[in-house]
């Protein structure tokens, strides 16, 4: 299928009954989690949340790594930046971001006039928290003594404060493209050391990596991939660039979450090992039932803090609203807009073909 929906609009539809939910979640093969009683509970919560969305003029945006039941109340499912752009463009005045804190912040940065709430403000991110804005500025100033042209390129998995001192943001799908396009030979790449290493291997520019990583991707080991491949010779291994270099060496494709979804739809292969957070494999299992998806994944404890109860309570009370100063919002938006300008000037990013 061409033009596979990487940002998925969840069609308006009749709410599913508990039996329909049981059948849908049955594909995930988690019978202890999705019992008939649990599906009845989900059915009731989904109905309650749909009513509250109407009342509060709200849209629900859900990241690819969310729990399957969160997809039942989502208006859009996708990666953090696609969702933040969607939140900016829709007519609703309230955005409920079912994802982690930096993602909700990014939605607020792009739509400062809207109310943005997150169902659990404790849903952080080990990667975003590994970079502090003051430490970053100090490191950049130190490096500027040696490399006068140094620029900061930050992955979108950063706090608003870090984005505010960043020259250009990037995503996992356009990181290499942005590095190639930025007018500097020396780049301080923040915060993911694994993505920095992958970019460094594919560019002639000098990349200085920040010392951070995503604890979820960093735990995945190459032996797991080899074991799966030995048992299934036709397997296509698709890994996220936040994985360690020795894991990426085992992959057939290195792709962002959006790239993985597109690849899963379009590839002629029938069996895939999806090497990233487990939520994406669950999305693919339910969305592309004619193909087989194996998991070499880890759960992100932060992503799984978001629940249907929390989403309902956030809508009921408006708690955990994202608050950012105008100065931080404006400066952070500047680094995102410079990314949009550079991306638009260069066509499709490397995600469309990153053969290993």
Which residues in this chain contact ligand SF4 in the complex, by CB under 6 A?
A: 65, 100, 125-127, 157, 214-216, 277, 300, 302-303
Q: Are 83 and 63 in contact (CB under 8 A)?
A: yes
* Assigned token pair, 247: 């894991």
DSSP 90-129: SS-SEEEEES-HHHHHHHHHH-TTSEEE-S-TT---TTGG
Provide, rounded to whole angstroms, the least separation between the CB of residue 80 and ligand SF4.
9
Nearest to 292 by CA among 29, 113, 69, 114: 29
Provide, rounded to whole angstroms, the least separation between the CB of residue 330 and ligand SF4.
25
Nearer residue to ligand SF4 within complex by CB, 123 or 165: 123
Provide, rounded to whole angstroms, the least separation between the CB of residue 173 and ligand SF4.
15
Provide, rounded to whole angstroms, the least separation between the CB of residue 249 and ligand SF4.
21
Q: Are 94 and 59 in contact (CB under 8 A)?
A: yes
Nearer residue to ligand SF4 within complex by CB, 157 or 200: 157
Nearer residue to ligand SF4 within complex by CB, 127 or 274: 127
Nearer residue to ligand SF4 within complex by CB, 21 or 274: 274
Nearer residue to ligand SF4 within complex by CB, 46 or 104: 104
Provide, rounded to whole angstroms, the least separation between the CB of residue 158 and ligand SF4.
10
CA quadruple 117, 168, 124, 132: dihedral sign: negative
CA angle 11, 157, 136 (to 5 degrees): 160
Provide, rounded to whole angstroms, the least separation between the CB of residue 297 and ligand SF4.
10
Q: Given 3-state DSSP classes, what are the helix, strand and coil percentages for the chain, each rounded to the nearest 5?
A: 45, 15, 40
Q: Are strands 8-9 and 76-78 parallel, antiparallel or unpaired?
A: antiparallel
Nearer residue to ligand SF4 within complex by CB, 191 or 350: 191
Provide, rounded to whole angstroms, the least separation between the CB of residue 110 and ligand SF4.
19
Provide, rounded to whole angstroms, the least separation between the CB of residue 150 and ligand SF4.
25
Q: Are 298 and 278 in contact (CB under 8 A)?
A: yes
* Assigned token pair, 220: 């995945």
Nearer residue to ligand SF4 within complex by CB, 39 or 196: 196
Nearer residue to ligand SF4 within complex by CB, 242 or 253: 242
Provide, rounded to whole angstroms, the least separation between the CB of residue 63 and ligand SF4.
8
Over the range 242-263, which residues count as b (16 or more CB within 10 Å of their CB) and which as e?
bbbeebbebbbbbbbbbbbbbb
**What 3-state DSSP class applies to 195?**
helix
Nearer residue to ligand SF4 within complex by CB, 46 or 60: 60
Q: Outline where DSSP puts E strands in the chain.
A: 8-9, 58-63, 76-78, 94-98, 115-117, 151-155, 168-170, 186-190, 206-209, 236-239, 253-254, 271-275, 292-295
């Amino acid at each position: 299928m061409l033009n596979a929906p990487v940002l998925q609009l969840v069609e308006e539809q009749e709410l599913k009954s508990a039996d329909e939910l049981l059948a849908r979640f049955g594909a995930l093969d988690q019978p202890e989690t999705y019992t008939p009683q649990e599906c009845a509970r989900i059915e009731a919560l989904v109905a309650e949340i749909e009513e509250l969305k109407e009342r509060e003029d709200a849209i629900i945006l859900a990241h690819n790594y969310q729990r399957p039941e969160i997809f039942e109340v989502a208006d859009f499912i996708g990666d953090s930046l696609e969702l933040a752009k969607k939140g900016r463009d829709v007519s609703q005045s309230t955005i409920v971001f079912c994802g982690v804190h930096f993602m909700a912040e990014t939605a607020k940065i792009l739509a400062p006039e809207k109310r943005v709430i997150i169902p659990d403000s404790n849903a952080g991110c080990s990667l975003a928290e590994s970079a502090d804005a003051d430490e970053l500025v100090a490191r950049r100033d130190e490096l500027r003594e040696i490399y006068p042209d140094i620029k900061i390129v930050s992955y979108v998995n950063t706090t608003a404060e870090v984005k505010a001192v960043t020259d250009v943001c990037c995503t996992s799908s356009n990181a290499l493209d942005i590095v190639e396009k930025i007018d500097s030979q020396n780049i301080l790449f923040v915060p993911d050391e694994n993505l920095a290493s992958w970019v460094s291997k594919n560019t002639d520019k000098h990349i200085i990596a920040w010392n951070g990583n995503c604890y979820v991707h960093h735990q995945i080991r190459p032996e797991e991939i080899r074991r799966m491949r030995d048992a299934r010779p036709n397997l296509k291994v698709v890994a996220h660039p936040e994985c360690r270099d020795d894991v990426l060496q085992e992959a057939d494709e290195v792709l962002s979450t959006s790239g993985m979804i597109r690849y899963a739809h379009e590839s002629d292969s029938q069996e895939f090992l999806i090497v990233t957070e487990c939520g994406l494999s669950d999305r693919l299992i339910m969305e592309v039932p004619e193909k087989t998806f194996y998991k070499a994944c880890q759960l992100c404890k932060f992503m799984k803090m978001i629940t249907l109860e929390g989403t309902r309570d956030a809508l009921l009370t408006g708690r955990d609203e994202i608050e950012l100063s105008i100065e931080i919002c404006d400066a952070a938006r500047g680094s995102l807009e410079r990314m949009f300008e550079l991306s638009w000037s260069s066509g499709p990013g490397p995600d469309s073909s990153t053969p290993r």
